[in-house]
Amino acid sequence: MMRYSSKQQLEQDIRTEHDLLCAVLDQIPEARHDEQGVWGDGWTVKDLVAHLAEWQLMFLGWYDAGVKGAIPELPAPGYKWNETPRLNRGIWLKHRTRSLSSVRSDFDSGYRRILEIVQGLSGEQLLLPGYFDWTGSHGLTTYLGANTASHYRFAMKVIKRWLAGRFHGRE
Res 169 pLDDT > 90: no
Give the H or E element holding residue 102.
helix 100-120
Number of H helices, E strands in the chain: 7, 0
We find that the CATH architecture of domain 38-163 is Up-down Bundle (1.20)
What would the pLDDT profile of 70-129 be if each residue is shown by its tens digit? 999 999 999 999 999 999 999 999 999 999 999 999 999 999 999 999 999 999 999 999
Res 171 pLDDT > 60: no
- pTM score: 0.93
d(C-alpha 58, C-alpha 75), whole Å: 8
Res 51 pLDDT > 60: yes
Q: Which range (96-100, 160-164, 167-171) has the least confidence?
A: 167-171
Residue ranges of the domains in the chain?
38-163
Q: What is the mean pLDDT of the chain?
A: 94
